[in-house]
Amino acid sequence: MNEFILNNISFQLELDSLLTKLHIVKESSYAQELARIIAAAQAIAKPKAVYRVAFIDSKGDDYIVIDGIVLVSRVLRVNLEQANRVFPYVATCGTELEDWSRSMDDVLRSYWVDTIKEMALHSASQALDEHLQDQFRPGRISRMSPGSLEDWPLQEQQKLFALLGNTKDAIGVQLTESLVMTPIKSVSGIRFTAEVNFASCQLCPRKDCTERRAPYDEALYDRKYRLRMN
């Protein structure tokens, strides 16, 4: 297994940027409390990521087979039309921040810490992209995650984790019986080379989504992904 474990990821928190992000006045007592929380988080934060290089065995109309594991998704299948190599991955804020966050005893501080964990996850994801580009020069990269679209449901998460192996030992991420990852601030999926940038948001009609990375294209599925019957 060509596995890469990233567990020495740089992560720096800046008080001024967090004050702005959280809409806290710099001269307030809240700012002093946030500074203490930042110092505590910075001392323990260890965002991590793991990914591997995998190759596609075969492709059907609405599935692909990677290392003997069948992933069922018409969208994923079409997106991988020209690919024979993919990069299954998991990135996380880290168990250290997750365990520490449980000590927060009120809603406001829990929200602050939740934001810090999201930032740590972003650092892990960014480090993964940089490492992947440095090692393999794949060019333009897109990604898909189980559960991000009805076409690739959350149940497929089990297959993805089967592809990745023991993620708990690698970076501390586990998949629960309800298919939720712990730590909660973790992301998983498949990165792949794409001639045209793809984001699942393009196929998702959900309104007012704070995580949206691309506008919804109502006609895209019919135009590109609909299976045409002969």
Q: What is the pLDDT of residues 123-174, one digit of tens each?
A: 999 999 999 999 999 989 999 999 999 999 999 999 999 999 999 999 999 9
Reported confidence tier of residue 1, pLDDT bands at 50, 70, 90: low
CATH assignment at residue 219: 3.40.109.40
DSSP codes of every residue in 117-173:
HHHHHHHHHHHHHHHHHHHH---SEEEE-TTSBTTB-GGGHHHHHHHH--HHHHHS-
Is position 165 within any domain? yes
Total of domains in the chain: 1
Is position 230 within any domain? no
State the chain's mean pLDDT as an integer: 94
Rg (alpha carbons) of the chain, rounded to whole number = 19
Is position 220 within any domain? yes
The whole-angstrom separation of Cα 31 and Cα 28 is: 5
Is position 14 within any domain? yes
Task: Report pLDDT for 211.
Answer: 81
Task: Report pLDDT for 206.
Answer: 87
pTM score: 0.93
Task: Domain of residue 127: give its range.
Answer: 2-225
Is position 181 within any domain? yes
For 156-220, where are the alpha helices, taking DSSP H only? 157-164, 167-171, 220
